[in-house]
Chain A
């Protein structure tokens, strides 16, 4: 079935470590996105990519990095520079002017 996969579902890290969240889609969508969601809050855009090898910063890109080497994959690295990394991270993709399709999300806890 077509869709977006994010792994792992839960991730635990020690403060000061970089961590990479995986996002893969087999929908053949051009655009991919990363959002952060804190408890009781809406979605905030971290990065998005409209085509391979190109990406743009969203509203809260500081402390995060991404790559888009393949159309299907858009991994997000949470660096040690991110002051409050504990959150729920959602990956999404879209094609043209259509709606976004979302993955199941990764809950990251940093202690």
Chain B
């Protein structure tokens, strides 16, 4: 079974609007971490935001927030006030405590911001 599922291959959003990128995960480990990364066309992976499985509140970092719904095993990324520079691939990832330091990545969502 896939550890991380991103069902939106491509998304479009109008500049200055908010957009939600979906991510669901599969684990039986009670201790895990969820991460979102941005990959511009240049190829580097940029860390955006982290949510721990025991965190009571949703993580926020500037215009990025993570909508963490533990019972539904979802960790959607919300980008507010989209900018043209937000156009990129976005990857959701998970790390489980019992598999040590191995990370699992989704297949990514390509976001295009329209002026």
Q: CB within 8 Å of B: which residues of A?
A: 30-31, 33, 35, 41-43, 45, 48, 50, 56, 58, 88, 90, 92, 94, 97, 99-105, 107
Number of residue pairs across A and B with beta carbons under 8 Å?
Answer: 50
**Complex Cα distance A105/B97, Å?**
27
15 A-B pairs, CB-CB below 8 angstroms?
A: A30-B101, A31-B101, A41-B107, A43-B91, A45-B102, A50-B100, A56-B102, A58-B102, A92-B45, A94-B103, A97-B95, A100-B35, A100-B103, A103-B44, A104-B43
A97's nearest neighbour on chain B, judged by CB, is B33
Q: Digit string of B78-115 for contact with A (CB within 8 Å is 1, else 0)? A: 00000000000001010101001111011110000000
Q: Is the CB of A105 within 8 A of B91?
A: no
B68 at the interface (CB under 8 A from A): no
CB distance from A71 to the nearest CB of B (A): 14
Give chain B residues whose Cβ lies under 8 Å from the Cβ of A41: 107-108
Give chain B residues whose Cβ lies under 8 Å from the Cβ of A58: 102
CB distance from A8 to the nearest CB of B (A): 14
- Contact partner of B103 (CB less than 8 A), chosen from A33, A88, A103, is A33
Give chain A residues whose Cβ lies under 8 Å from the Cβ of B106: 42
A41's nearest neighbour on chain B, judged by CB, is B107
Q: Is the CB of B101 within 8 A of A99?
A: no
**Complex Cα distance A88/B95, Å?**
22
**Complex Cα distance A43/B94, Å?**
12
**Complex Cα distance A103/B106, Å?**
19
Give chain A residues whose Cβ lies under 8 Å from the Cβ of B45: 90, 92, 100, 102
B50 at the interface (CB under 8 A from A): yes
**Complex Cα distance A45/B106, Å?**
12
**Complex Cα distance A30/B102, Å?**
13
- Contact partner of A99 (CB less than 8 A), chosen from B35, B107, B108, is B35
CB distance from A1 to the nearest CB of B (A): 15
